[in-house]
Every structure is written in C-alpha cells, then in structure tokens.
C-alpha cells in the first residue's frame, strides 16, 4: 500500500518442501545442472531484504495485452482469447503492490517465438508471446492473451508440456525473486509432466493450477483464469525493533 512505510525486516525461511529439489533425474537436464552440496543458510541481510523496484515508466500501453503487442494493425493472434488475472500476495496474505510481473508463453499451437525452438507447429505472425505489468497498490495484475498450446519437448521419447504460462516476479526484496509456471484447470497433461513432477508436494502443484473464473469472464469476448502468486512473507516490524508511532 502506498502509505505504508517500506518494510525492512527479513523474510520467512523458505519452505523447501514446497519447492522442487535441484536434482530430479526424470527431468533430465537437472542431472548436470543441480548443485549437489547443501545450500548454506544465510538469514536475511540487507543484501537480500532489499531489491529493485521498477517504475511505471518502463511499461508501454500494450505490454499487458499479448493480443495486441505484436499484432499487425487490425489483426490479432489465432487462438482462444483469455484474460489472466490475480493477485501477488505474500505469505501473510498481504498484497505485494508495485511489483513487476513478466510472462511468456507458446502460441495457441504450442510454438514459441525463439531461435532455438524447432517444433513443427507454425509461428503466429501476430503473436510475440510475452508481456509484463506492474501490480497495483493491492497486488492485483491482469493481462490478455491466447491460451497456449501443449508442446512436445526432448526429455523422454514422448514428453509433452501441459499448456502453461511462465511467470517472473520480483517482489520487494531480492530474496523474494521467483520464476514459476501457471497451468490451466482441467488439463490432463499436468499430472503427466516431468517438470510439474519435480514439485514434491501435491498441494504446491495445485497452487500452480489456475481455475476458470466465470465471474471475471468478459461476455462475448474472453474467458478468464485466476492465478494468485504467493511470495515469501516477512517478519513483522513488531518483533524486530520498537514499533514506530506508538
């Protein structure tokens, strides 16, 4: 919230049981890219408590409209039009306002606009597949896009990613930095995915599945999916220093 003083307290310890471990051999690329030694614990110093904050000056008008930000005038991408909306919160349930959220995805056919991508589904000339926004003072965000397609990837001989959207979130401190993926309610591919299965906790997986939100659906235009993102909470000032103003 705008009028709240900046918070300067350390973050709650990360509950690593809710996150994928580094080494998950069924997702083959992790085998050689996973640190083997224990992480060294470092209770939040000022280096982790602080973090960059981006101003609205970096955001262009159509950055949160993937239906428009790459399309030729008067045209638009092929696919199911959707609105993705939600709130960035911390573990205390407090909205994380004014934070940058970036997102990227495949097009409706499951193809990414990337030099190294070779899937035979065609590129969509009107779809870039990425955008960004800054949450409002209560942590809310939204963007418009098309529902991405599932796509095959070289891991097992017949592995497919469920439809998903990648998210990058900054939060207010560098220790809150997070990259994750959003999945779609009802997609049978979710529970077959080796990358989803890197997460050991079923509830943590469910927390990545965005439900269809008919209340936010725009009649005759686009259906909505709601995706809340929870970042690490931070300790109350109460237990750190003397309370200010009391």
Partner 1 sequence: MVQPLGYLKETASQTAGPYVHIGCTPNFTGIHGVYEADLGSGSMINDQTRGERITIRGHVYDGAGTALKDALIEIWQADADGLYNSPSEIRGKADPNFFGWARCPGDMATGEFVFETIKPGRVPFRDGRLMAPHVNFWIVARGINIGLNTRMYFSDEEAANAEDPILSRIEHRVRVPTLIGKRDGDTVTFDIHLQGENETIFFDV
- Is residue 166 part of the annotated active site? The answer reads yes
DSSP string, 48-73: HH------GGG--TTTTBTTTSSSPT
Which of 178, 189, 212, 216 is the binder for partner 1 (CB under 8 A)?
178
Which of 2, 3, 32, 73 is the binder for partner 1 (CB under 8 A)?
32
Q: Does 190 bind partner 1 (CB under 8 A)?
A: no
Q: Does 2 bind partner 1 (CB under 8 A)?
A: no
Place of tokens 């997070």: 178
Q: What is the CA radius of gyration of the chain?
A: 19
For residues 97 and 2, the answer to whether their CB atoms sit within 8 Å is yes
Q: How far apart are CA 237 and CA 131, in angstroms?
A: 35
Cβ closest to partner 1, residue 129 vs residue 222: 129
Q: Which stretch binds partner 1 (CB under 8 A): 75-83, 128-136, 140-148, 184-192?
A: 128-136
- Is residue 161 part of the annotated active site? The answer reads yes
Show contacts with partner 1 in window 35-74 (CB under 8 A).
35-37, 39-54, 58, 60, 63, 69-70
Which of 2, 3, 6, 219 is the binder for partner 1 (CB under 8 A)?
6
Rounded to 5 degrees, φ, ψ at 167 are -125, 140
Q: Does 116 bind partner 1 (CB under 8 A)?
A: yes
Q: Does 245 bind partner 1 (CB under 8 A)?
A: no
- Helix H segments across 70-158? none
Q: How far apart are CA 115 and CA 52, in angstroms?
A: 30
- Is residue 33 part of the annotated active site? The answer reads no
Q: Which stretch binds partner 1 (CB under 8 A): 15-23, 75-83, 139-147, 214-222?
A: 15-23
For residues 149 and 110, the answer to whether their CB atoms sit within 8 Å is yes
Least distance from C-beta 17 to partner 1, angstroms? 10
């Amino acid at each position: 919230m705008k009028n709240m003083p900046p918070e300067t307290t350390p973050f709650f310890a990360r509950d690593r049981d809710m996150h994928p471990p580094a080494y998950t051999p069924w997702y083959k690329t992790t085998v050689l890219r996973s640190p083997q030694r224990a992480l060294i614990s470092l209770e939040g110093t000022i280096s982790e408590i602080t973090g960059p904050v981006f101003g609205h000056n970096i955001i262009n008008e159509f950055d949160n409209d993937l239906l428009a930000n790459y399309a030729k005038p008067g045209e638009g991408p092929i696919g199911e039009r959707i609105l993705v909306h939600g709130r960035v919160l911390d573990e205390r349930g407090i909205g994380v306002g004014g934070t940058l959220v970036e997102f990227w995805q495949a097009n409706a056919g499951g193809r990414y606009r990337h030099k190294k991508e070779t899937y035979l589904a065609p590129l969509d000339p009107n779809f870039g597949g990425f955008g960004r926004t800054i949450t409002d003072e209560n942590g809310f965000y939204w963007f418009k896009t098309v529902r991405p397609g599932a796509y095959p990837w070289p891991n097992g001989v017949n592995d497919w990613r469920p439809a998903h959207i990648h998210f990058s979130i900054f939060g207010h401190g560098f220790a809150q930095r997070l990259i994750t993926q959003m999945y779609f309610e009802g997609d049978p591919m979710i529970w077959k995915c080796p990358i989803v299965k890197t997460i050991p906790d079923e509830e943590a997986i469910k927390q990545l599945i965005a439900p269809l939100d008919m209340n936010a659906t725009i009649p005759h235009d686009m259906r909505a999916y709601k995706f809340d993102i929870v970042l690490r909470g931070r300790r109350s000032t109460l237990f750190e220093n003397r309370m200010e103003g009391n």
